[in-house]
Amino acid sequence: MPHPPIKAVIPAAGLGTRFLPATKAMPKEMLPVVDKPAIQYVVEEAAQAGIDDILVIIGRNKNAISNHFDSVPELEEKLKDKGDTDRLRRVLESSDLADIHFVRQGEPKGLGHAVLRAKAHVGDSSFAVMLGDDLIDERDELLTTMIEEHRRTGAAVIALMEVPQTHIHLYGVASAEPTEHDGIVKVNGLVEKPSAEDAPSNLAIIGRYVLSPAVFDILERTEPGKGGEIQLTDALQELAADPDGPGVYGVVFRGRRYDTGDRVDYIKAIVQLAVDREDLGPDLRPWFKDFAANL
């Protein structure tokens, strides 16, 4: 029997305060990373893994996101008339990626609360949660492996990555043990943003999760945790601690991940992605070398 399709949920209701004033009238998910808004990379990653139904959880200023994934007939006509097929292709690409739906979060009560807003749309199917601050290089595989692992085990599957001790307080952190499968760990416990001293390991949750709808029942009764917010990590900890359930597994990612969550990392992400691009890299690389030599 074919597996029922997996939907994706992209929380995009954060206030983006770290990028003010750029995010005063525009969601941070629309900030360009080279020449595409950050959220388009995430939608492309979902589409690449075969997901064609995406729910975006939005806050204020939602229009920019929905307009971006909609078609713009006047612009398309103009580019067609000019014979600008390359730009036309790029414009069409963003509206043809997937079937994109929107729901409002209402009050910003945390990631767990945002995910709970997806309950009605997700229904009985498994779903992926994809956070827009983490961009995964399209040349490196992650989501497909996570979906396979979820189907094999029936468990919640999270993406983990080793991070330096100095950064561990920014993440949900897992205590985990190896399995017989290379790169897959069994998660025994999770803690949201611990101090470096209290962190159970250096394995941080990077923003990809493949979950079954059972998590909604837990989220409904999850009390506010770290920062007074309802944390997805706390709900997953409950799944990990349940001796009768399928538990939680982690896929340890060793590929290229770009963090766009704060200004320095955002600038690094743009530089890393741009120098690798065929159309921009050849001009940028020598310039960067020169620039760095004179710093």
- Torsion sign across C-alpha atoms 211, 216, 218, 221: positive
How many residues bind ligand G1P, per CB under 6 A? 14
Q: Distance between CA atoms of 110 and 49, rounded to whole angstroms? A: 27
Q: What b/e sequence results for 7-35 when a residue is b if at least 16 CB atoms lie within 10 Å of its CB, and e otherwise? A: bbbbbbbbebeebeeebeebbbbbbebee
205 binds ligand G1P (CB under 6 A): yes
Nearest distance from C-beta of residue 262 to ligand G1P, angstroms: 10
> Which residue spans within 199-265 are E strands per DSSP?
203-211, 248-252, 257-259
Q: At residue 129, what are phi and psi to the nearest 5 degrees? A: -105, 130
Q: Is position 206 an interface residue for ligand G1P (rule: CB under 6 A)?
A: yes
Four-residue CA torsion sign, 155, 139, 134, 8? negative
Distance in angstroms (rounded) separating the CA atoms of residues 205 and 207: 6
Cβ nearer to ligand G1P, comparing 103 with 206: 206
Residue 29 in the binding site for ligand G1P (CB under 6 A): no
Question: In the stretch 250-279, what mask flags binding to ligand G1P with x, by CB under 6 A?
Answer: -----------x------------------
Q: Which is nearer to ligand G1P, 18 or 82 (CB)?
A: 18
| Smallest separation (angstroms) from ligand G1P to the CB of 172 | 3
β-strand pairing of 248-252 with 156-162? parallel
CB of 6 to ligand G1P, least distance (A): 20
Asked if 237 touches ligand G1P (CB under 6 A), the answer is: no
Instruction: In angstroms, give the least distance from the CB of 246 to ligand G1P.
Output: 20
Under the binding rule (CB under 6 A), the answer on residue 43 touching ligand G1P is no
Are 185 and 240 spatial neighbours (Cβ–Cβ below 8 Å)? no
CB of 171 to ligand G1P, least distance (A): 3
Continuous segment of H or E residues that includes residue 288: helix 281-293
Cα within 13 Å of Cα(225), Cβ side: 23
Q: Rule CB under 6 A: which of 109-138 touch ligand G1P?
A: 111, 131, 133-134
- Distance in Å, CB of 87 to ligand G1P, minimum: 32
**Cβ-based nearer residue to ligand G1P, 61 or 231:** 231
Q: Contact with ligand G1P (CB under 6 A): which of 29, 45, 53, 192?
A: 192
Minimum CB distance to ligand G1P, residue 96 (Å): 28
Name the residue nearer to ligand G1P (CB basis): 212 or 233.
Answer: 233
Stretch that binds ligand G1P, among 56-64, 85-93, 205-213, 281-289 (CB under 6 A): 205-213
Residue 53 contacts ligand G1P per CB under 6 A: no
CA atoms within 13 A on the CB side of 155: 28
What is the distance between the alpha carbons of residues 78 and 55, in angstroms, rounded to a whole number? Answer: 30
E strand spans, the chain: 7-12, 32-33, 36-37, 53-58, 99-104, 127-130, 134-136, 156-162, 172-178, 184-192, 203-211, 248-252, 257-259
19, 41, 69, 171: which one binds ligand G1P (CB under 6 A): 171
Contacting positions for ligand G1P (CB under 6 A): 111, 131, 133-134, 171-172, 192, 204-207, 231, 233, 261
